[in-house]
Amino acid sequence: MNRPRILIVEDEVKIASVLSDYFESHRFHVSVLYRGDHVLAFMKGQPLDLILLDLMLPGMDGISLCRDIRKTSRVPIIMLTARVEEADILLGLDLGADDYIVKPFSPREVVARAKAVLRRSGEEPLPRTLETGPFSLNTQSREVRIHKVLLKITPNEYGILKALMTAQGRVFHARNWWAWSRATNLKGITGPLTPI
């Protein structure tokens, strides 16, 4: 496997630095951001395998950020919290995070949990980028490009393209589409299709 790409979002510089060193020594490719409001813009240009997300951050808190990330991405997220009670609250909010780690933690524990989350997310059968002719589709950022130019598309359009690029040569009938897309667990189809 290539070096997993991890983004650490943590405003406490010392913690961020210790984690960064530890993940790098475990062959991760590490990026660090110290503010919450820089994360979404950063993600647009960077495919990531995992995000470590602190709860209390300047600019934008971890809860809002996790919700916003989940609107467009299924990248695994591990939330870092300062207290056990916070972790309990987060669990109740059902943010879509993959794991929760309470401070103080040992870097060794964080790396072990990160690897476990990556193993689980590895069950995703699709590669990160699908390419067909001039089209390229990133299954993580959900970006579609034609001749390298980014297309503005709806979730339905993304789902159709992803399905067609996954099963090249297959003909789809509109009436069978909904059942098929559900059976193959396609993300991005949010309702029955209407004729284009």
Query: Contact residues for Ca ion (CB under 5 A)?
Result: 11, 54, 56
Q: How far is the CB of 58 from Ca ion (least distance, A)?
A: 8
Q: How far is the CB of 88 from Ca ion (least distance, A)?
A: 18
Q: What is the spatial distance between Cα 147 and Cα 38, in angstroms, rounded to a whole number? A: 28
The answer to whether 8 touches 50, Cβ cutoff 8 Å, is: no
Decide whether 90 or 189 has the Cβ nearer to Ca ion.
Answer: 90
The answer to whether 128 touches 92, Cβ cutoff 8 Å, is: no
Residue nearest to Ca ion (CB): 56
Decide whether 49 or 54 has the Cβ nearer to Ca ion.
Answer: 54
Decide whether 65 or 144 has the Cβ nearer to Ca ion.
Answer: 65
Q: How far is the CB of 82 from Ca ion (least distance, A)?
A: 7
Decide whether 57 or 130 has the Cβ nearer to Ca ion.
Answer: 57
Q: How far is the CB of 70 from Ca ion (least distance, A)?
A: 20
Measuring CA to CA, which residue among 32, 40, 29 is closest to residue 16?
32
Q: How far is the CB of 186 from Ca ion (least distance, A)?
A: 36
- Work out the angle at residue 118's Cα, subtended by the Cα atoms of residues 53 and 39, and round it to the nearest 5 degrees: 30
Phi/psi at 106 (5° precision): -90, 140
Greatest pairwise CA separation for the chain in angstroms: 56
Decide whether 9 or 163 has the Cβ nearer to Ca ion.
Answer: 9
Question: Which residues, 6+ apart, have CB-to-CB distance to 116 below 8 Å?
Answer: 99
Decide whether 85 or 131 has the Cβ nearer to Ca ion.
Answer: 85
Measuring CA to CA, which residue among 131, 142, 110 is closest to residue 15?
110
Q: How far is the CB of 54 from Ca ion (least distance, A)?
A: 4
The answer to whether 55 touches 76, Cβ cutoff 8 Å, is: no
